[in-house]
Structure 1
């Protein structure tokens, strides 16, 4: 096989040490993009996020927020008040996701009928 050139159009394998997969795993889970989208207008408290994101459990919201804070996509600010108040907000890094989140949501809305029809077949 020496001397032959590649004839297929497959890209070469990605050798990034798993970095792309790690990031995509985090932001493509069931809830992360919904949390990011919910925070697009500004900071929200836990209860407001829970009401905004239909179907998410307290435990899953807690875990999702924790992971997004760890990744630097959102910030958590605790205020020394009685009762305690905690707000979550997109960081500058998290804000860079918004055009992608919006584009993905628009794509999903535009193609949902076709996708649902395919599922029924």
Structure 2
């Protein structure tokens, strides 16, 4: 259940957010399943990019360690009126750029388009 909630946090995170490229704590609203159906919960997530140098050429040798926007996470419980059990959801406490943890996330090259903030 907690893994599903975390995936929902990451999927919803970008919707309607201000443009920022730094890794920081951001407010988010996620949908969590409860005994009365889906309910919206306000939480915080880590969002943004970390500085990374990409090599000019592809080498089988040296690859700089990629940093990703990671956070200190905890779980909170919210009780819903009419439900015998509370719902558990993730809350980011702090965010920092740290070396990508290959045990918990994909650390390969991102092959999609990188969206940039508009220049004003």
TM range (shorter): under 0.3
- When normalised by structure 1's length, the TM-score is 0.25
Structure number, greater radius of gyration: 1
- When normalised by structure 2's length, the TM-score is 0.25
Structure showing the higher helix proportion among its residues: 1
